[in-house]
Amino acid sequence: MKPITLLQPSRVVFGAHQWDNLSDDPLLSQADSLLFVVAQPLRDLMNPLVDRLTAAGHAVKVLIYDHPGEPTVSYFQGLLAETTAFNPGAVVGVGGGSVLDVAKLLAALDPTRQPLETVFGKDLLVTRQRSLICVPTTAGTGSEVSPNAILLDEASEEKRGVISHYLVPDVCYIDPELTVSLPPRLTAETGMDALCHCVEALTNVNAHPLVDAYALEGLRLIMGNLETACQDGRNLDARSAMALGAYYGGLCLGPVNTTAVHALSYGLSGTFHVPHGLANAILLPAVLRFNLPLAAEKLALLANTLGLKPKTPVGDGAEMTTHEVALAEAAIAAIERLSLVCGIPQRLSELGIEEKDIPRLVDSALTVKRLLVNNVREVTGEAALALYKTLL
């Protein structure tokens, strides 16, 4: 068995109402000044917490993340200037994946030592300046436990990643109560993103039994609870299962990471501003079918984990489908059904993407080599073109 290093926070606080205990966290008590990066809809949620921390003698600054969509380089630079001026001892991110990615970079980056432009890529950060706590309010990105942060470069319309163990938070608070107000559309999109993290890690050239365990359990939780979470947002059991599934998906992102699904989605998000989870959800079934000749064993394992039965006749003849492939196809069909019942569009044309846009998408996808190399089947320009066309 090949060696692997699994990164995760030193402390994970999981459960309903655990958010209420954040003000007493020892990591915060050790810092004189605290910076909170908070999604705009959560502004009022912060007031009691800020009051308690201020009364305890902390200097507190709250940065409201009010950027539409994913964070851009220029937007981040503005927040970095404010952070540098305040010089907090600890940073706390409260929100979805974009907010958490920004908080992680604000905690890590010292622009006097390493300008932002010099840290895009893998393992280029030399240190982290401040303590870091992440509090997710969606069940999807896994950013609360991952070593990744993504920014959109406006000039190139490309999403650029910083990957470093310094971006793994010290502590994360996963409170499913914070997700109950998430509307069905965002629940579906972020949930499908978490599903992608798990299945892409499972069907990956770098797949590992240690991570497979997280991926399969994450898939079991998400496949069994996303529909309920979309239909009944106040169902705390479903929300808790989704939060845990997203956490497992986040653990998959460090040692194994994602594949062609995410690579092909980057152009949709960067150029056409399709939400990240939605872009991944639309692409996932097509990429899994493309990978099927080399991923049938793992997808069959997923089908068995979910208790699925093959629908295709099986047999020994060349004209018949093997049992393993039939199981793999059942897993893909189950993912497709879940996406559909949760209201995810199934065609790129539903998002306004036309055939004339595809060459631009292909060019963008082929730049994401750090993810394409993880795919079990090589994605050439011709293959990417065909994949996009099947989804029009």
Sequence-ordered alpha helix ranges (H) in the chain:
26-29, 43-55, 73-86, 97-108, 184-202, 209-231, 236-253, 260-272, 276-306, 323-341, 358-366, 369-372, 381-390
pLDDT for 156: 87
Same domain (yes/no): 223, 137: no
- Whether the per-residue pLDDT at 311 is higher than 80: the answer is no
Strand pairing category for 148-153 and 121-122: unpaired
In a domain, 3, yes or no: no
Q: What is the domain-level CATH number for residue 205?
A: 1.20.1090.10
Same domain (yes/no): 31, 171: yes
- Whether the per-residue pLDDT at 310 is higher than 70: the answer is yes
Higher pLDDT, 6 or 374: 374
pLDDT-derived band at 254 (thresholds 50, 70, 90) equals: confident
pLDDT for 319: 47
Residue 30 carries which DSSP code?
T
| Domain final position from 179, 212, 242 | 179
Q: What is the domain-level CATH number for residue 117?
A: 3.40.50.1970
Same domain (yes/no): 159, 238: no
Q: Give the domain range for residue 264.
A: 184-390
| Domain final position from 124, 151, 179 | 179
Residues in a beta bridge with 235 = none
Please name the helix (run of DSSP H) or strand (run of DSSP E) that holds residue 246, with its range, or none.
helix 236-253
Helices 276-306, 381-390: axis angle to 10 degrees equals 90
Gap between the Cα atoms of 342 and 358, Å rounded: 26
Query: Could you give the C-alpha distances from 70 to 109, 181, 202, in angstroms and in order?
Result: 19, 20, 26
Same domain (yes/no): 93, 219: no
Gap between the Cα atoms of 141 and 277, Å rounded: 8
- Whether the per-residue pLDDT at 172 is higher than 90: the answer is yes
CA angle at 221 for the pair 220 and 225, rounded to the nearest 5°: 120
User: Taking all residues of the chain, what is their mean pLDDT, rounded to a whole number?
Assistant: 95
Query: Could you give the C-alpha distances from 36 to 69, 100, 105, 112, 152, in angstroms and in order?
Result: 19, 10, 13, 22, 22
In a domain, 369, yes or no: yes
In a domain, 205, yes or no: yes
Digit-coded pLDDT (tens) for 86-134: 999 999 999 999 999 999 999 999 999 999 999 999 999 999 989 999 9
Gap between the Cα atoms of 96 and 41, Å rounded: 11
Query: Contact, 177 vs 13, CB < 8 A?
Result: no
pLDDT-derived band at 318 (thresholds 50, 70, 90) equals: very low
Gap between the Cα atoms of 85 and 246, Å rounded: 34
pTM of the model: 0.95
In a domain, 4, yes or no: no
Same domain (yes/no): 326, 244: yes
Count of domains for the chain: 2
